[in-house]
């Protein structure tokens, strides 16, 4: 009798578990699909912001580099500091380009982030132009005798 009662009880319990499991799985799968879509959209928006923020930060660095070209009171001893800034800029440029290439490879075939990658590429190009300008103007032209004479003539006007 005990065995029969236990079997009936187990069957009843197993039936309840099965019904609850089916109900839970089917209702949760709908929620999970909605949550998956929401999470995906959140991730897309977060990446867009990340790329835009990175482009904004790189553009700010370019702005800072350009400020160096307008400094008048640079001394020969400042060359070491300027060389190190240019070295950091070159190393960063390489990392920015590698990052952009990896990200584009992953997402462009899927049609994602085209606008953000365009902004990022423009920022990286501006950054390179800025540190090349610093190198050319501050380190090279400042030591060029013709340029110095021409600058002096312009200053006297």
Distance of CA 15 to the CA centre of its chain: 53
Residues 6+ apart with CB under 8 A from 142: 74, 148
Rounded to 10 deg, the angle between the 2-69 and 78-107 helix axes is 140
Residues 6+ apart with CB under 8 A from 138: 68, 69, 71, 74, 82
Q: What is the pLDDT of residue 74?
A: 82
Q: What is the pLDDT of residue 4?
A: 47
Distance in angstroms (rounded) separating the CA atoms of residues 147 and 141: 6
Encode pLDDT of 55-84 as tens digits: 999 999 999 999 998 888 888 888 899 999
Q: Which residues of the chain have pLDDT under 70?
A: 1-14, 22-32
Share of the chain above pLDDT 70, in %: 84
Q: What is the pLDDT of residue 25?
A: 62
| Domain regions of the chain by residue span | 2-156
Instruction: Say if pTM beats, i.e. exceeds, 0.85.
Output: no
Q: What is the pLDDT of residue 88?
A: 97
């Amino acid at each position: 009798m005990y065995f029969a009662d236990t079997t009936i009880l187990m069957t009843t319990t197993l039936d309840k578990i099965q019904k609850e499991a089916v109900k839970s799985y089917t209702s949760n799968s709908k929620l999970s699909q909605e949550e998956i879509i929401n999470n995906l959209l959140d991730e897309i928006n977060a990446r867009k912001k990340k790329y835009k923020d990175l482009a904004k930060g790189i553009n700010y660095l370019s702005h800072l580099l350009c400020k160096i070209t307008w400094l008048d009171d640079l001394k020969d001893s400042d060359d070491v500091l300027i060389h190190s800034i240019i070295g950091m800029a070159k190393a960063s440029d390489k990392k920015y380009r590698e990052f952009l290439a990896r990200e584009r490879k992953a997402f462009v075939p899927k049609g994602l982030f085209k606008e953000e990658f365009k902004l990022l590429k423009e920022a990286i190009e501006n950054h390179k132009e800025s540190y090349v300008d610093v190198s050319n103007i501050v380190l090279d032209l400042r030591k060029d005798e013709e340029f110095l004479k021409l600058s002096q003539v312009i200053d006297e006007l």
